[in-house]
Structure 1
Amino acid sequence: MSQVLERLLLEDLEKWEETIKDLEERNRKLKVPTENTPETLHTFNCQINDLYTEVQYHFARARRNKDAIERIIYNVLNDLYAGKNDWARRAAGIQYAQNYPTPPGFYPDKVDLFYLEDKFKWFYYALDSIIKSLQAKAEAKITNNSLLKIDDLVSRYS
């Protein structure tokens, strides 16, 4: 378990925040074309594919980190506690998780696992939100493409 915690502690949280901010901004700037031509739709398709691929890469890492911190906290709360009754053991587990010892060589020598959980879950859910937004944009593009084809058929047979 300490190798997993060590990996999580080596994550650059500030860089993660910058990455999320950058991806959110790029997603906001990516608009479904209002002009439905093969060229605009192709350009949009390439842009959305590139961004989607990049977000998926980060999403996989975020999910791995979220799942890892959840496992660590679960184990701490359920296995690494002491107390006379369930409430005392749960309270001891929470206190221990809030001041969990870091692997040798890390500073500080204690970490709040709930703080890490909050950060990693935020990264995960932010990326999940971007993915859903990109999927909605891709669906809108498909609708626009269908309208373009219908318009073409109507103009041919008019």
Structure 2
Amino acid sequence: MVLHRLLLEDINEWERICEKLNEQNNNLKVPLENNTTTLHQFNMDLSDLFTEVNYYFGKARRNKDAISRIIENVLKDLYKGQNDLARKAAGIQLAQRYPVPDTAKPYYPEDFVNLFELEDQINAYYYALDAALKSLNHKASAKITNNSILNIERSLLPSS
């Protein structure tokens, strides 16, 4: 059932989601002017985007782990062959033309799927979302640094 679930993932939808989140991330700038209004707005925008990216990252991680387990099991299975290389080659060939489960055939148009290509597609959106999370964490750190500098500057100014 796991492969069935993976085959039903809409790769085009994942690409749209990753592009949209990447665009939102690129548009989210650490405020140049640090005051309570700009920092509050930035915190809200950062939190909202982080929550959305993290939600999709969790789904992507689940899919990445699932396809990795499927491929690992296919490659580790015992195949007929004269030696280890022949048995390994048989596993690779099976992974390249893995039979689509009957339950997925009404929704997936092919009889076979290349597990390595499926893994590549799944990894693409996993790593895109991973990069987005790292960027958002960096922006959060930059905001904290800017806020700290602002507080230090205020403490150095003479009181009126």
Unaligned runs of 5+ in 1: none
Q: Which of 128, 131, 150 does residue 152 from structure 2 map onto?
A: 150
What's the offset of the Cα at 1:15? 0.2
User: Residues 3-57 of structure 1, C-alpha deviation per residue, up to 9 Å, x if partnerless?
Assistant: 0000000100000011111111111111100001110011000000000000000
Q: Which residue of 2 aligns with 1:17?
A: 15
Q: Structure 1 residue runs of 4+, over 4 Å off?
A: none
Q: Which of 112, 127, 130 does residue 128 from structure 1 map onto?
A: 130
Unaligned runs of 5+ in 2: none
Q: Which residue of 2 aligns with 1:115?
A: 117
Q: Identity of aligned pairs, percent?
A: 58
User: Residues 46-100 of structure 1, C-alpha deviation per residue, up to 9 Å, x if partnerless?
Assistant: 0000000000000000000000000000000011532111100111111100000
What's the offset of the Cα at 1:107? 2.1
User: Following the alignment from structure 2 to structure 1, what is the Cα–Cα distance between the partners of residues 130 and 100?
Assistant: 29
Q: Which residue of 2 aligns with 1:79?
A: 77
User: Following the alignment from structure 2 to structure 1, what is the Cα–Cα distance between the partners of residues 79 and 54?
Assistant: 37
Q: Which residue of 2 aligns with 1:67?
A: 65
Moved more, 98-107 or 50-59: 98-107
Q: Which residue of 2 aligns with 1:44?
A: 42
Conservation of the 8 A alpha-carbon contact between 1:59 and 1:128: yes
- Count of matched residue positions in the alignment of Structure 1 and Structure 2: 156
Tell me how large the CA RMSD over aligned residues is: 1.2
User: Following the alignment from structure 2 to structure 1, what is the Cα–Cα distance between the partners of residues 18 and 30?
Assistant: 21
The secondary structure found in structure 1 opposite 2:157 is: helix
TM-score by length of 2: 0.94
TM-score by length of 1: 0.95
Conservation of the 8 A alpha-carbon contact between 1:82 and 1:93: no
Specify whether residues 7 and 80 from structure 1 end up closer, same or farther in structure 2 by C-alpha distance, changes over 3 A only. Answer: farther
What's the offset of the Cα at 1:156? 4.2
User: Following the alignment from structure 1 to structure 2, what is the Cα–Cα distance between the partners of residues 101 and 82?
Assistant: 18
Q: Which residue of 2 aligns with 1:30?
A: 28
